Structure formats: C-alpha cells, structure tokens
Amino acid sequence: MTALGTQASCLQVKRVSGMFARIAHRYDLMNRLMSAGRDQAWRTEAALLAAPTPGARALDVATGTADLAIALRERDCEVVGLDPCDAMLRLGKEKSRRDVMLSEPKDREEGKWGSVTFLLGDAHSLPFQGEAFDCVTVAFGIRNMEDPVAAFREMHRVLRPGGRIVCLEIMPPAQGLAGRCYQLYLNKFIPWLGGRVSGQPDAYEYLSGSVMAFKGPMGLKALIEQSAFAQVHYHLLHLGSIAIHLGVKRL
C-alpha cells in the first residue's frame, strides 16, 4: 500500500471507529432488534465452522463487543479479540468478565472456557507474527474496511497452514420483490429504528449504505480467494441477507 493509501486507510479507521464509539452503548440491542434475535445464533455457527480444537489460538478481527470472541472461547481455546474502537472493546471486556462469572464454577475450575484477550488494532496491519493463529474470524466487519483484500491478506499471513478463516457478513439485496422489500427495510426502517434506539440515525444510515455498496456472496468469495485462501465456499442465512464464508490456508 502506498503512503497515500495508508493515510486514507487510517482516516477511514478513525472515522468508522468514532461512529461505532457513539453507538456502542446500544450496539448489542440494535443487533438483536435488526436480526429478530438471530445474530447470536449466526455467531455460534461461525465459531463452529472455525472449528478450533481445545487449546487452539483464535483471532477475532473487528471483535466489537466480543460476541463471536466469547463463542470461540466457549470452545476451550485462547482468543484474541482485536478492534480499532476502544469504546467497543471496553464493553466486550465487561461482557466477557460477566460471562465467566455467570458460568458454572466447575467449568471455571477445569478451565473449560479458554480465555479472551482484547487488543486495540487495525485489521490492515495486524500486530502479530506470521502463522500465529489456528483460525481467524471476522463478523460484520469486513465491509467497513477501506481495503478488504489487504485485511484478508493480513488474516492469511497470521493464520497457520491448514487453518480456517470464517467471515460472517450482511449481504446486499438480491433482485426481485423480496430484494426490494429488503432494500426498503435497510434504507428506511433501519435508520429510523437506529435513531430511536441509539440517538444516532446517521450511523445506521451508514450501515445501510455500506451494505448496499458491498459485494454480494459471490463477490465476497472472490475477494477471499484473491487473498490466497483456498476451498472458499459460503452458505446463506436469513432469506439470503446473511452469508457465512469459509476458507482455508493451504498446507
């Protein structure tokens, strides 16, 4: 990346991080409302697809308030949750501590839940040595990145050979009547709801715009393949509005 490109990427990270800081206090609630309560199940499925074995090291990029990082931890592995927004990370840390305290004492004593470490950082320049993780995940974050291919290449770099990447993301509307209804939901209802719940309708206008401008499932598959991952495939959820992509780093 050129110096100019690096500067543009840094500005994008700061702009998006500032926006997420403003909605952090209502981020989880809005996720539940927008997904009709299904977003946690999607993250659980992403953690299962990442398939970390007990004791494995997992990286959750754009971890936000750590729902996916916690789902990975519950598979008894060591998780690093990385995000450029400090306000989101603080909420993630609090949620992670609360989740451990509510777990069964026997599970805590036997160390069944692994651990989560939180780190402030940018996906375009991951602060890790190569081949440091057994799996890498990113949920609802890749479309917010200035250069998704550069971010995916960084994830590829820090992944061990044979390791998996799992990407969970919102898809733009498809053609047809259902797609037009979904577009109306994105462009009108979500900003209105976000304004009522968070007091930041502009943040949810950004969300809708970022989804509308993003790749469809085949386009996202191509980006992941362009980043050197192999065996890339996906499946759709929630009437095609959500996609989970899976790729593997070649041995």
Contact between residue 152 and residue 229 where contact means Cβ atoms under 8 Å apart:
yes
In the prediction, which pLDDT does 50 show?
97
Query: Between β-strands 242-248 and 159-170, what pairing exists: parallel, antiparallel or unpaired?
Result: antiparallel
The predicted pLDDT at position 4 comes to 42
Strands in 100-216 per DSSP E: 115-120, 133-139, 159-170
Sheet strands (E) in the chain: 57-61, 78-83, 115-120, 133-139, 159-170, 230-237, 242-248
Nearest to 137 by CA among 26, 15, 224: 224
Nearest to 60, CA basis, from 110, 114, 16:
114
The tokens for 189 are 């209802």
User: What pLDDT does 104 receive?
Assistant: 55
Burial class (CB in 10 A: 0-12, 13-18, 19+), 136: buried
Q: What parts of the chain have a pLDDT lower than 50?
A: 2-4, 111
Instruction: Provide, rounded to the nearest whole percent, the portion of the chain with pLDDT above 70.
Output: 91
**CA 172 to each of CA 20, 47, 68, 101, 108: distance values in angstroms, whole numbers, following the listed order:** 21, 23, 22, 39, 41
The reported pLDDT for the residue numbered 99 is 82
Whether 46 contacts 237, CB under 8 Å = no
pTM of the model: 0.92
In the prediction, which pLDDT does 13 show?
Answer: 79
Measured distance CA(190)–CA(42) in Å, rounded: 20
Domains in the chain with CATH codes: 3-171+214-248 (3.40.50.150)
